[in-house]
Structures are given as structure tokens and as C-alpha cells.
Amino acid sequence: MASTNQTIVVLGGGYTGVMCAIRLARRTRRTGARVVLVNPTDRFTERLRLHQLATGQEPADHRIPALLRGTEVEFVRGRAVHIAPDEREVRIADGEGERTLGYHYLVYAIGGVTDTSVPGVDGHAYTLDTAETASRFAERLAELDRRGGGTVAVAGSGLTGVESAAEIAESHPKLQVVLLGRDEPGSMMGPKARGYLRQALDRLGVQVRTGVKVTKALPEAVELDGGELLPVDALLWTAGVVGAPLARESGLEVDDRGRVVVDATLASVSHPSVYAVGDAAAVRQSWGELHGTCQSGIPTAVHAADAIARRLRGRKPGVFRFGYVHQPTSLGRRDAVIQFTRPDDSPGRWYLTGRLAVAYKEAVTSSPAKIYRLSRRLTIPARTMSRTGGRANRPVGHRGR
């Protein structure tokens, strides 16, 4: 095959970015394409485990260059500060200044960030956006423990909020944990799985307040709609995710949440040389819109890599199709609940709880290093890769207890 000598730049070294870069290197190795992965740090952050890091636990320390070893992917440590999609250039800042990388194709895998638009949240709340922010929260919890206790509020009753509240309560029994949200925890689950989740939170001593909205974060309190002030010693904010501002600032077409609007092949509708994956992309399917999870993110990364490889060969990219299969939720280190779903993420009949659920959760969210190593050696069919979150899977358990 003739050499193309084209450069493909992947922005973001998380689950989707690393997978996409490894897949690209393998699928384009005969074309002469250069694959470059850009990330601000060489540490691979397992976002699915940041709630553990936030409570003082130490997840495995993976380094991106080690994950890329043997792939010929070039790793650039730096932060993307501007994309010029018309010129096909991206400006990178590192400790020595700024430089510009040209590209033929760009994969935007920067992911999402916590929506901190509520007044006071930026200054008075902690987030789980990075390992650094999670570690700062862990230091605050340790400080409260040394003082003999305190009240910790978790804003947001989605699965991230639930996992975080349970982890804090289990790891720091001296602290009073309050989970605040408009919806019932586990609202997307079936009634039996949702009931189990609520019982687990009660057992851990988590105080759950639903039907409330935080309207302001203060130094030592949160203000709820209706004017109530709830005194807190620490606030963890998990209430919503938006796209990183870089895409909008660079002129890519984005939706109202700042995610890159893509076509059926995951190419940007405004700049087709840019592909967006994972939390960074607004992806529509026949049944609705994807919401950001690792379950759907890695299949988007695989598809984007395959689409670019096909374009380099002068072939038409395929259409991305995906369906969910489960909602795995940890409830501390010794308990969990797994709601199996239909492809549109609505709850099915089956669910798992307790030790079986813990084992299942660890299996499907275990370190991605193994799948990355396998992907370096084999071109796993995209359909097989999608089965971690696609309709091909079938639950292997029981309907609950």
C-alpha cells in the first residue's frame, strides 16, 4: 500500500484517547501515517476509580508511555490550548512554552468536565475531574477525620454521586455524608435494583435528600432552593458534566453542553477532519443520545480509529451503532448493584447485588491495561469491542435477592 505520510493527532490520554491511538497505530501501520497522542500528564487517570482516590485509596499507577510501548504512537506531554480546524493545526503548551502541531486528522478525546456553573461551586466545592482534584478532596476528608468528624455533602444523585457517597461513608465512618439531588438515587434502575441501592446507602449511614437543588455554594454551607442553608464542612460536586471549553473556543460546532456535534461516523459536522469520541461528542443513535460512560466511550474510540483508517485508504467510513447493556454501581468496596439494561439504557428485568455484583463490577471496570496490551497485538473486530456495552451481551446472573 502506498505511503500517505499523514499525521493523526489524538488529544486526550484517557480511556478513549489511549484506545483510539493504539487502534490507529495498528490500523494505519502500512500507510506510513504518524500517530501522536497529546496529554497534559504522563499518568493514565482511571476516571472510574477517582471516587476511590478521593477517599484516600491508591489505585494502580499506570503511565501512558508504558501503555503505548511497542505501538509506535508518539507521546507528547502538553496541554492543547487552541485548535485551528481550518488550518488543521493545534497549539500545545508545556513547561517550555508553546508549539504548533499540524495534522491531517484530529481525534478530540479530551472528555467532559464537571458543570460548575452554580454560583460558588468553583471556589467552594471539590470535583472528580482529575487525579489532582480527587487527591485534594482526600486530603480534606483526612483533615476532618483528624478533627473528629464533620458533614460532607455530595451534590448530584446520579451514579457518580451515589458511588462517591457510599465510598466516603465506608472509608470515613466518623463523617456524616449527605447525598443531595433532584432525583431518587438509582432513578434510572428498575424498582428492585433501586430499592437495594437505597438500602445500601441507609446501611452505610448516608443521609439522602431528594427533590432538592443546590443554588449556591458557600464557604461552610450550601444554599438549597427555597432558601434553606445546610451547614457542611466539605462539598463534593458531581451534578452534571459538560464538554471542555476548548472545542467551542476553537470554532467547532458544539451542542448546548459544549460537546462536539458529530455525524453518523463520529466526524465533526462543521470540520470533517476532526473526530470526537467519548464524553466530548454529542452522539445520536436511533433510540436517542449517548450519555458519557466508559461503556460507550471506548466503542466510539474504536470506531473513530477505524473510520480514519478507512478514509486514508480512500474508503467510506461506516456508521456508528451502539446499545447499552448494564449500569454497574459500586456501593463501597464490599457491595454493588448491577442493573442490566436494554440498548437504550432503560432497565431490563435482570440485576445483580452483593458479592456477585462486586465481582462483576471489578471484571468490567478492571484496569484497561490488559485490553490495551491485547489491542497492540491484535486488531479486535469493532463489533466484539463494543460488546462490553452493546446488545450482544447477556447477563450472567439472577434477578436479584
Range from 30-39, 57-66, 229-238 carrying the lowest mean pLDDT:
57-66
154 and 248 belong to one structural domain = no
Q: What is the mean pLDDT of residues 158-169?
A: 96
SS3 track for 204-272: CCCEEEECCCEEEEECCEEEECCCCEEECCEEEECCCEEECCHHHHCCCCECCCCCEEECCCCEECCCC
**310 and 248 within one domain:** yes
98 and 60, same domain (yes or no): yes
| Cα 401 to Cα 396: distance, rounded to the nearest angstrom | 15
pLDDT at position 399 is 38
Instruction: Please write the tens of the pLDDT for every residue from 170-189.
Output: 999 999 999 999 999 999 99
140 — pLDDT class (breaks 50, 70, 90): very high
The whole-number pLDDT of residue 378 equals 61
Q: What is the mean pLDDT of residues 264-288?
A: 96
CB atoms within 10 A of CB 102: 11
Q: What's the rounded mean pLDDT across residues 159-168?
A: 96
Neighbours of 148 (CB within 10 A): 8
Q: Please indicate, yes or no, whether residues 206 and 131 belong to a single structural domain of this protein.
A: yes
Per-residue model confidence (pLDDT) at position 245: 95
Domain with 78, as residue range(s), is 7-113+241-324
When pLDDT is averaged across residues 55-80 and rounded to a whole number, the result is: 92
Q: How many domains does the chain have?
A: 2
In whole angstroms, give the CA distance from residue 200 to residue 170: 11
What's the rounded mean pLDDT across residues 325-331? 95
Of 216, 237, 258, the residue that ends a domain is 237
36 shares its domain with 84: yes
Does residue 233 sit within a domain? yes
Q: Are residues 313 and 258 in the same domain?
A: yes
> Grid coordinates in use for 114?
464537571
- What's the pLDDT score for residue 377? 60
Residue 376 has a pLDDT of 63
- The pLDDT-based confidence of 2 (bands split at 50, 70, 90) is very low
Q: Does any domain span residue 290?
A: yes
Residue 360 lies in a domain: no
Rounded mean pLDDT, 107-129 = 95
Greater pLDDT, 392 or 245:
245
Q: Are residues 200 and 138 in the same domain?
A: yes
- Compute the 3-state secondary structure of the chain and give helix, strand, coil in percent, each to the nearest 5: 30, 30, 40
> Alpha-carbon torsion 165, 171, 172, 173, what sign?
positive
Q: What is the mean pLDDT of residues 328-351?
A: 96
pLDDT of 108 higher than 70: yes
Q: Tell me, yes or no, whether 227 and 245 share the same domain.
A: no
Residue 109 and residue 120 in one domain: no
For residues 391 and 344, give the distance between their C-alpha atoms in angstroms, rounded to a whole number: 10
What's residue 382's pLDDT? 57
Single out the residue of 93, 95, 61, 97 nearest to residue 80, CA to CA.
Answer: 93
Average pLDDT over residues 1-25: 87
Tens-place pLDDT, residues 361-397: 988 877 676 677 666 666 655 555 544 433 333 333 3
358 found inside a domain: no
| CB-CB contact of 300 with 320 (8 Å) | yes
Q: Which residue has the higher pLDDT, 375 or 254?
A: 254
> Both 259 and 188 in a single domain?
no
Both 69 and 133 in one domain: the answer is no
Q: Is residue 387 part of a domain?
A: no
> Residue 377 domain-assigned?
no
Identify whether residues 49 and 89 lie together within a single domain: yes
Q: Which amino acid is at 30?
A: R
Last residue of a domain, one of 324, 355, 379: 324
Q: Is residue 381 part of a domain?
A: no
Report residue 401's pLDDT band, with 50, 70 and 90 as the boundaries. Answer: very low
Question: Which pLDDT value is given to residue 44?
Answer: 92
Q: Which of these three, 237, 261, 288, is where a domain ends? A: 237
The predicted model gives 158-162 an average pLDDT of 95
Residue 102 CA to residue 311 CA, distance in Å, equals 18
DSSP letter string, 299-313: HHHHHHHHHHHHHHT
Average pLDDT, the chain: 91
CATH number, domain of 159, equals: 3.50.50.60
Whether residue 246 lies inside any domain: the answer is yes
